[in-house]
Amino acid sequence: MSQNMNIMIVGVGGQGTLLTSRILGNLAIAQGYDVKVSEVHGMSQRGGSVVTYVKYGEKVYSPVISEGEADIILAFETLEAFRYIGYLKKDGKILINTQQIDPMPVITGAVRYPEGIIEKIKATGARVFEVDALAAAARAGNAKAVNVVMLGVLAAQTDIDKDKWLAAVEQTVPPKFLELNKKAFELGYSL
């Protein structure tokens, strides 16, 4: 790999972006790469907009991804995809969970949730993959498994063996939730 791989995971606090980034980090280590994973804790985790970055390659310097630098964006929520589309590389791709979670300014009626976000993102020329990860997560047994469904979708689009992905999931997820997450991954992988 001549250039580093930059993956951004965006979502809402509580959607499991942190866990997803750690699975990706462990996957990249298993490939023998230098890896950096950046997270934000504290205030922004309280239902706010959450971003994590995973970068891997021969040598990674900045743990953070700048605008126009992401090869892949995994968006767990539609509005968050809209917010961070500027971070996608011109030849990158964005995987969007079609789920919508109203932010507080929408709940209070101060603003409206924008309509037709996915069409608007497509209109910019970005490569978009839509996924109903919420439905798949529900089929797996828990609506909160959206994150691992999305990971499965991503895995199916890479040339890294599925076994290696599953090994990274196994290594990262607490044993208690492993079965659920494996199921969610498989469902995402076959979407």
Partner 1 sequence: MKKLMLGNEAVARGAYEAGVGVVSSYPGTPSTEITQEIAKYDEVYSEWAPNEKVALEVAIGASMVGVRAMSCMKHVGLNVAADPLFTASYTGVGGGLVVCVADDQGMHSSQNEQDSRLVAISSKVPMLEPSDSEECKEYVKQAFVLSEKYDTPMLIRLSTRVSHSQSLVEVGERKEHVPKDYVRDMAKNVMMPAMAMKRHHYVEKRLDDMRALAEDCPFNTVEKNSDKVGVICGGIAYQYAKEVFPDASFLKLGMINPMPSELILDFAKGVEKVYVIEELEPVIENHCKVLGIDVIGKSILPNIGEFSVAQIKKAVDGGETEKFTVSEAVPGRPPVMCAGCPHRSTFYVLKKLGLIISGDIGCYTLGALPPSSAMDFCVCMGASVGMAHGIEKARGREFGKKVVAVIGDSTFIHSGITGLIDIVYNKGNSTVIILDNSITGMTGHQDNPTTGYTIKGEPTKAVDLVLLCKACGIDRIVVADPFDLKGFEEVVREETAAVEPSVIIAQRPCILLKSAQMYPARVITDDCKNCKMCMRLGCPAISEKDGRPTIDATLCVGCGLCVRVCKFGAIRQDDSNLKRLAQGKE
Closer of 181 and 189 to partner 1 (Cβ)? 181
Could you give phi then psi for residue 47, rounded to 5 degrees? Answer: 70, 10
146 makes contact with partner 1 (CB under 8 A)? no
Q: Which residues contact 93 (CB under 8 A, 6 or more apart)?
A: 71, 72, 73, 126, 127, 128, 129
User: In what helix (H) or strand (E) does residue 122 lie, and over which residues does it extend?
Assistant: helix 117-123
Closer of 72 and 189 to partner 1 (Cβ)? 72
Instruction: Name the one range near partner 1 by CB under 8 A: 66-74, 147-155, 162-170, 183-191.
Output: 66-74
Q: Which of 88, 133, 140, 149 binds partner 1 (CB under 8 A)?
A: 88
179 makes contact with partner 1 (CB under 8 A)? no
Q: Are 97 and 128 in contact (CB under 8 A)?
A: no
Q: Which of 1, 42, 119, 175 binds partner 1 (CB under 8 A)?
A: 42
Task: Say how far apart CA 18 and CA 20 lie, in whole Å.
Answer: 5
Q: Which of 5, 19, 75, 79 binds partner 1 (CB under 8 A)?
A: 79
Instruction: Name the one range near partner 1 by CB under 8 A: 120-128, 149-157, 160-168, 182-190.
Output: 120-128
**Closest separation in Å from C-beta 31 to partner 1:** 13
